[in-house]
Amino acid sequence: MAEVDDRGGTRLVELREEPPLLLRRTRSYDGSAVVHLVGGAAGPLGGDDLELEIEVRPQAALCLRTVAASVALPARSRRPSRFAVSATVGAGGILHWLPEQTVAAAGCRHTTSATVAVAAGGSVLWRDELVCGRHAERPGDASVHTSVDYAGTPLLRQRIDVGPGADGWDGPAVLGGAPATGSLLGVRPGSRPVAPVVLGPTAVRVPLAGPGWLVTATAADAHTLRTQLTEPAVPDAEHRPDGRRTGRGRG
């Protein structure tokens, strides 16, 4: 839980963890709070049921990252794994969710789901990246679900399924054979509408029916995918993809 402190910066008033999800606060230079998720064990492994709850109170600013990619691994029991993230952002709050990639290893059965509720005036930058298998490996079954509401109204409902259990996932209507796919969502209240833009042969940015935009892309590798998931240039410097903010005199 992040809230504004008496100097106009952000403090973490509650930070609870349970292995294998470990939370570490890291340095910030602008008054915002930055937290890195550290995996206490390999995985997620089949049978893991992991949950992360995030609360950003009004006017607070929080950036969450991971220190490395997550590799979804199968279990002998063939049980599925799950990682569920729920986040709330108060009025004037800012949340940046910028983890590294999730890799769907052969044989896995993994679901990543996110439910985000943003109050009017709140801002979000939310990135999801999925790599279909390790090097020279076909992926297991993986699903990524994202649900975002703004001011109580649905803003985004998105889902992608890959692997042998998903019909046509590697065909031209979905990934077209690309092993990496991802999206970057920006919720920016009061910003100018963003026009649809083709960012490359397999990347596009589109406006949403609300104060936001969405970049979706596929790529031949994780590095190329990351270069395609970029936010549009905006004059307001408080919204930066690295989780840092300037221009508010915080610190």
Contact in structure between 56 and 84 (CB atoms under 8 Å): no
User: Which residues, in sequence order, are bridge partners of residue 150?
Assistant: 118, 153
Q: How far apart (Å, rounded) are the C-alpha atoms in residues 148 and 185?
A: 10
pLDDT by position in tens, the chain (length 251): 999 888 878 889 888 888 888 999 988 877 789 999 998 777 799 999 999 999 999 999 999 999 999 999 999 888 999 999 999 999 999 999 999 999 999 999 999 999 999 999 999 999 999 999 999 899 999 999 999 999 999 999 999 999 999 999 999 999 999 999 999 999 999 877 778 999 999 999 999 999 999 999 999 999 999 999 988 875 443 444 334 443 332 22
Three-state DSSP state, 156: strand
According to the model, what pLDDT value does residue 8 have?
79
* Angle at 219 (CA atoms; ends 223, 227), nearest 5 degrees: 40
Residue 30 lies in a domain: yes
Residue 108 lies in a domain: yes
According to the model, what pLDDT value does residue 245 have?
40
According to the model, what pLDDT value does residue 41 have?
78
Q: Provide the number of structural domains found in the chain.
A: 1
Q: How far apart (Å, rounded) are the C-alpha atoms in residues 212 and 197?
A: 14
Residue 234 lies in a domain: no
Residue 249 lies in a domain: no
According to the model, what pLDDT value does residue 234 have?
54
Residue 238 lies in a domain: no
Backbone angles phi, psi at 222, to 5 degrees: -65, -35
Residue 220 lies in a domain: yes
Three-state DSSP state, 223: helix
Q: Which of 192, 217, 193, 213 is nearest to 204 (CA)?
A: 217
Domain boundaries, position 186: 2-228
Residue 165 lies in a domain: yes
Contact in structure between 35 and 87 (CB atoms under 8 Å): no
Residue 237 lies in a domain: no
